[in-house]
Amino acid sequence: MKTFEKGLQSLQDISQLEQKLMPHLFKSTTKMFLKVPIKPDEMPDKPDLNNKKLLPDENEWVYEEFMRLRTRVFESVDPMAEYLKTYDQFASDYALKPQEVIASMDDPENPTEPDVLRRDVISRRARAQKLMDSIPELMTVSFFQIDCRSIRTTLSEKHLKIANEEIELIAKQAKVSANKISLEFDNKDLKIIAVPSNIEELSDIRTYMSQVPMEIEKLNLEIKKTTDIYDMLNEFQYSFAEEDDADKRWRVFGQP
């Protein structure tokens, strides 16, 4: 609307062409400008038809055109409100707080099971991709073109951030479990290779050695669980920052 009014004002700065082309016909040297319409602040009153001396306001049409344009502009904005409603389906994505979600899963006292984390990673990645597919980069509504790239990226990255942090939690559990198993076998080795100082200690070692196969059988379940966790990480093409952490899988696998 400001453009409409500014356009009328700009017309007032246009010099009369006749004065420039035929200055000899004009006695005055005062610069003359075009006579242009002026937009009234409100609709001019209609003249009394019984009074022939009164004429309609010559700028009445300007006000009418201004109001017609104003109406069309408001009508063009209405579809925007309808389009905004289509984003109601993403309300839960807007409200999602990645740090809070991760904090609830990273509980040292009650850690989330790796398989639960794995399923959520897959779900989060699928949701992120669905958001990218559902929200277009550019959308034309009425005569507006809406850039949706920042919206779709922000919502999608929330889920990807959670998924990536969940993978880190799986890796953390893999390392903890591998270290625990390695420590168990190291302790067993120390007990077996210990040099007895008397017959009682020798007897204790022999008794312990007879129990080792049963203990190893129990540890095999933990080994299987740990290697399964490493398989999850391979599924997500995870790379450990330290090569030693990646090698722990095979050391655990070969422990028995």
pLDDT bucket at 1, cuts 50 / 70 / 90? low
Mean pLDDT of the chain: 83
Q: How many residues does the chain have?
A: 256
Residues 109 and 62 in one domain: no
- Nearest CA to 236 out of 173, 176, 170 is that of 170
What pLDDT was estimated at residue 38? Answer: 76
Give whole-number Cα distances, 241 to 168, 172, 253, in Å: 11, 12, 21
Quick: pLDDT tens for 221-252. Answer: 888 888 899 999 999 999 888 877 777 777 77
> Which one of 28, 43, 76 terminates a domain?
76
Residues 175 and 249 in one domain: yes
Domain span at residue 192? 96-253
Residues 135 and 206 placed together within one structural domain of the fold: yes
Rounded Cα–Cα distance for residues 253 and 224 (Å): 8
153 lies in the same domain as 210 = yes
- Strands (DSSP E) contained in 22-142 are 138-141
Render pLDDT for 130-166 as a digit per residue (tens, 0 to 9).
Answer: 999 999 999 998 888 999 999 999 999 999 999 999 9
Q: How many domains does the chain have?
A: 2
**162-188 tens-digit pLDDT:** 999 999 999 999 988 888 887 877 767
Biggest CA pair distance of the chain:
137
Q: Are residues 139 and 220 in the same domain?
A: yes
User: pTM score > 0.75 for this model?
Assistant: no
In a domain, 232, yes or no: yes
* Residue 83 domain-assigned (yes or no): no
- The reply to whether 244 falls in a domain is yes
